[in-house]
Amino acid sequence: MPSQSDLHFTFQPLVGNASFEVVSFTLTEAVSQPFALTLELVSYESDIDFDQLLDRPVLFTIWRGERPLRYVHGLVSSFCQGDTRSKPKRTHYKALVEPQLARASLRSNWRIFQQKTVPQILELMLKRQGITHFELGSAFDHQVREFCVQAGETDLDFFARLAAEEGFVYRFEHSEKQHKLLITDRLRSLGRLRRGGIKDEQEDSQEAFPDTVLYHASGGGDQAEPCLRRFSYREQVRSTRQVQRDYTFTHPAYRLEQVGLPDHIQHLANDYERFDYPGRYKREAVAKPLIHTRAMGLRHDARLAEVEGDDVRLQPGLSFSL
């Protein structure tokens, strides 16, 4: 029977022939943020050409025995050569791996977009970054913006601002050859966990039936299967409504006021209102989804569950049953 001690890790540059062993790694991920994979590596080669690594694609794989459980594909953003030590004689290296989207933080511009929806603008921004492996899905209507300006922001900040304003979130999907950016305005559309991080060859082409994540409060030692060992849940007092008002010279007497109420408000004794002016909209059709998104954002951490364990399937944006 396989156990968690069968886990091991590999790091493979997809350009050149450099060879490494993984000493340790830290993978930091969050919904709507570029991931960051930092690695400590060793190699029998002491003169590796940095040109084979910097800004080049690499593949990090988590294995259980002979089966790959999870891939992390990305580009090397930083590469450092350290000491060469004897017994055995190997050179230490450090690498930082990020998605192609992270490169958008290295560019800034002043641009004007006219008569376009936010999904159209996001798609244009991705194509200008040379990002072709993406999937943009929309479950709701998004109104045309008469005038939208990127005012000196980095491309990543502008992309993040527009996405947040209209409720878009994203995550990354990894394979051996690429990482795909998945964008949606419905969080549940980001998907659920599968039975395994990577499907067996015996599984058909259809999506595997979503599985549960096990929780063992007294888990310890070398577990036969991945599980969570710590779990906590808390609720916090947060704002309960978002109110915004604006003005248009075509209807000066109309206050253009909208109230946004988040979903699932419970266990609060009072009403806590946030008011903003100007609302940055001219029509109610634009205001309603905008205000609702902001109201939901005010309560993004009103209910939090924190877990700790060793199930490598857990990824930001993917839902599961505990």
Among 138, 165, 183, CA closest to 286: 165
Which of the four pLDDT bands, split at 50, 70 and 90, describes residue 201? very low
* Interval 208-256: pLDDT, tens: 445 788 888 876 666 667 888 899 999 998 888 888 888 877 777 777 8
Phi-psi region of 88 (alpha: psi -120 to 50; beta: other; left: phi over 0): beta
Averaged pLDDT for residues 56-77 = 95
pLDDT for the residue 172: 96
Distance CA 264, CA 60 (A): 39
What letter does residue 251 receive in the DSSP assignment?
S
Rounded Cα distance between 143 and 127, Å, is 21
Give me the pLDDT at residue 120, please: 97
230 in Cβ contact with 308 (< 8 Å):
yes
Query: Quick check: 71 and 35 in contact, CB under 8 A?
Result: no
Tokens of 33: 């943020």
pLDDT tens-place string over residues 156-193: 999 999 999 989 999 999 999 999 999 999 888 888 88
Task: Give Cβ neighbours of residue 55 (< 8 Å, ≥ 6 apart).
Answer: 75, 76, 77
Q: Where residue 68 falls among pLDDT bands split at 50, 70, 90?
A: very high
Residues 145, 120: contact at Cβ < 8 Å? no
The answer to whether 57 touches 14, Cβ cutoff 8 Å, is: yes
Calculated CA dihedral for residues 197, 200, 205, 209, nearest 10 degrees? -60
Torsion of CA 304, 309, 314, 316, to 10 degrees: 40
Greatest Cα pair distance, the chain, in angstroms, is 82
Model confidence pLDDT, tens digit, residues 112-149: 999 999 999 999 999 999 999 999 998 888 889 889 99
Please give the Cα distance from 96 to 102 (Å, whole number).
12
